[in-house]
């Protein structure tokens, strides 16, 4: 039997990752868990997020999932290491490492901006991981805590989302960025609006496709 891939997020945002994985691996079955009972993760403590993530992973493994994808940046930042320790025999994929590797392969110098939840920004996981491998890259960050609840409530591609996005991105630290990582699973849904904000070419990167390609490679290598 071809066992399913388990994917979880705090809500609907991770469906962007699930869709990209379904496109990259059309013969796989996916079980998706959106933890809307505890949404948003972005403002919760590390301990709470580790607890939710362990419970969800236990649930998905009881459904015989052969691999787990943490399709949530905040949970990837706070709980990935703990999940790997707790479930050492299961491939666990987070959304941060493949995105960081993708950026490092594309940029040797320059400025890569990050927008994400407060939890992800406070963890400084992106600047730490990027600068560990390439200290020449500048990595300005901004927490954008209204964006995920806004998207979760269906507010995107309208005047309200445009106003909030413009307000967050009018940040002088982002004036001369070369790229911007949408470091939250919900943000691909506002990618067009983010691109439209910049009046010059800025490489707006979302993790969905990068993580899907990584998942495909990892599953092929590990499980054949
Ligand atoms: N899924 C979360 C993330 O990618 C965003 C929404 C939330 O705060 O729960 O960081």
pLDDT along the chain (224 residues), means of 10: 93 94 96 96 97 98 98 98 97 98 97 98 98 98 96 93 98 96 95 96 94 95 78
- Cβ atoms < 10 Å from Cβ of 110: 15
Please, are residues 30 and 69 in contact by the beta-carbon 8 Å criterion?
Answer: no
Cβ neighbours of residue 136 under 8 Å, at least 6 residues apart?
108, 109
The residue from 12, 22, 184, 208 that is catalytic is: 184
Q: What is the pLDDT of residue 90?
A: 96
User: Does the beta carbon of 39 lie inside 6 Å of ligand 1?
Assistant: yes
Q: Measured from the CA of 117, which atom of ligand 1 is nearest? A: 10
| CA–CA distance, 118 with 121 (Å, rounded to integer) | 5
User: Does the beta carbon of 207 lie inside 6 Å of ligand 1?
Assistant: no
- Give me ligand 1 centre to Cα 4, in Å: 23
**What is the token pair recorded at 124?**
């400084």
| CA–CA distance, 197 with 211 (Å, rounded to integer) | 25
Any alpha helices (H) in 65-158, and if so which ranges? Answer: 73-86, 96-106, 118-123, 125-133, 147-152
Based on DSSP, count helices (H) and strands (E) in the chain, helices before strands.
Answer: 10, 9
Q: Give yes or no: 103 in active site.
A: no
- Give me ligand 1 centre to Cα 1, in Å: 33
Judging by DSSP bridges, how do beta strands 137-138 and 203-206 pair with one another? unpaired
* pTM confidence score: 0.95
User: Does the beta carbon of 9 lie inside 6 Å of ligand 1?
Assistant: yes
Please, are residues 148 and 119 in contact by the beta-carbon 8 Å criterion?
Answer: no
Please, are residues 35 and 9 in contact by the beta-carbon 8 Å criterion?
Answer: yes
User: Does the beta carbon of 73 lie inside 6 Å of ligand 1?
Assistant: yes
Q: What is the pLDDT of residue 82?
A: 98
Q: What is the pLDDT of residue 222?
A: 82
- Give me ligand 1 centre to Cα 120, in Å: 9
> Cα dihedral angle (81, 98, 22, 185), rounded to 10 degrees?
70
User: Does the beta carbon of 186 lie inside 6 Å of ligand 1?
Assistant: yes
Q: What is the pLDDT of residue 63?
A: 98
Kind and range of the H or E element at 196? helix 191-197
Buried b (16+ CB within 10 A) or exposed e, 138-168: bbbbebbbebbebbbeebbeeeebeebbeeb
40: preceding bond cis by omega (within 30 degrees): yes
Q: What is the pLDDT of residue 61?
A: 98
Q: What is the pLDDT of residue 65?
A: 97
| CA–CA distance, 109 with 48 (Å, rounded to integer) | 37
- Give me ligand 1 centre to Cα 34, in Å: 11
**What is the token pair recorded at 150?**
């806004």
**What is the token pair recorded at 101?**
């590797």
């Amino acid at each position: 039997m071809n066992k399913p891939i388990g994917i979880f997020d705090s809500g609907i945002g991770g469906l962007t990752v699930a869709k990209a994985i379904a496109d990259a691996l059309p013969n796989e079955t996916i079980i998706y868990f959106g933890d809307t009972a505890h949404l948003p993760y972005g403002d919760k403590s590390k301990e709470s997020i580790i607890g939710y993530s362990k419970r969800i992973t236990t649930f998905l493994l009881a459904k015989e999932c052969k691999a787990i994808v943490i399709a949530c940046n905040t949970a990837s930042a706070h709980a990935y290491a703990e999940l790997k320790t707790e479930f050492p025999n299961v491939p666990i994929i987070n959304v941060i490492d493949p995105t960081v590797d993708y950026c490092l392969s594309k940029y040797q110098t320059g400025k890569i901006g990050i927008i994400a939840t407060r939890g992800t920004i406070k963890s400084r996981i992106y600047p730490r991981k990027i600068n560990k491998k390439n200290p020449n890259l500048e990595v300005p960050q901004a927490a954008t805590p209204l964006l995920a609840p806004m998207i979760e409530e269906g507010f995107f591609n309208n005047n309200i989302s445009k106003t909030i996005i413009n307000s967050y991105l009018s940040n002088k630290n982002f004036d001369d960025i070369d790229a911007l990582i949408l470091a939250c699973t919900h943000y691909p849904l506002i990618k067009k609006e983010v691109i439209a904000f910049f009046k010059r070419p800025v490489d707006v990167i979302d993790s969905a496709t990068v993580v899907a390609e990584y998942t495909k490679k990892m599953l092929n290598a590990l499980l054949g």
